[in-house]
């Protein structure tokens, strides 16, 4: 592979990783599928969801994301520091990743850092897609929104009214007052 082709491949792989994360955060499930090979594997190998998790197949990965990160869940993913190695029509990549999840329906915020270990394949159409993604967590932290009485969502994906999102977020932690702020508590 010549240098120009290699550089172009690295950039295309960066773009597909960024597009995958953007699609998760914006809940663009149909577009998300196009970032994956048909036989893609998502291997979290962690107990984030109660048991080790390995999902095989494009449609299964999209369905998982739709179910876990759908309404009532706001996410933000940032990937950086890619180390990408291209070998013909396959490639590997290691990414530093930070993510935040605001689960309004569960009244919690989870923040974490990890390294993603990806494998990519270039399809017959010449486009790079994710064939396998796994990660090793550096840390994961969780806080209940009921512990944060001043927490307020002032804007949410899809234009959900801030008052409703905040009330959902502090459910169990007290009633929402005017403007979505928690109602004052007696001493």
| Model pLDDT for residues 3-48, shown as the tens digit of each residue | 899 999 999 999 999 999 999 999 999 999 999 999 999 998 655 5
Mapping DSSP onto H, E and C, the string for the chain reads CCHHHHHHHHHHHHHHHHHHHHHHHHCCHHHHHCCEEEEEEEECCCCCCCCCCEEECHHHHHHHHHHHCCCCEEEEEEEEEEEEEEECCEEEEEEEEEEEEEECCCCEEEEEEEEEEEEEEECCCCCEEEEEEEEEEEEEEEEEHHHCCCCCCCCCHHHCCHHHHHHHHCCCCCCECHHHCECCCCC
Full-model pTM: 0.81
Q: Give residue-wise pLDDT tens across range 96-119.
A: 999 999 998 889 999 999 999 999
CATH number for the domain formed by residue range(s) 3-145: 3.10.450.50
What residue segments make up the domains of the chain, in order of their start? 3-145, 146-174
Tens digits of residue pLDDT in 148-167:
888 888 888 776 544 455 45
């Amino acid at each position: 592979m010549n240098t120009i082709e290699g550089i172009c491949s690295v950039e295309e792989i960066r773009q597909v990783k960024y597009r995958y994360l953007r699609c998760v955060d914006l809940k663009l499930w149909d577009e998300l599928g196009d970032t994956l090979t048909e036989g893609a594997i998502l291997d979290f190998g962690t107990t984030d969801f109660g048991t080790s998790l390995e999902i095989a197949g494009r449609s299964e990965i999209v369905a998982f994301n739709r179910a876990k990160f759908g309404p009532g869940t706001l996410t933000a993913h940032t990937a950086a520091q890619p180390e990408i190695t291209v070998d013909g029509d396959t490639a590997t990549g290691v990414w530093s990743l930070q993510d935040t999840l605001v689960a309004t329906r569960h009244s919690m915020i989870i923040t974490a850092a990890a390294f993603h270990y990806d494998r990519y394949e270039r399809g017959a159409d010449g486009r790079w897609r994710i064939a396998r993604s796994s990660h090793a967590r550096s840390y994961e932290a969780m806080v209940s929104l009921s512990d944060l009485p001043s927490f307020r969502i002032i804007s949410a994906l899809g234009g959900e009214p801030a008052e409703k999102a905040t009330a959902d977020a502090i459910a169990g932690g007290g009633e929402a007052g005017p403007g979505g702020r928690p109602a004052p508590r007696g001493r």
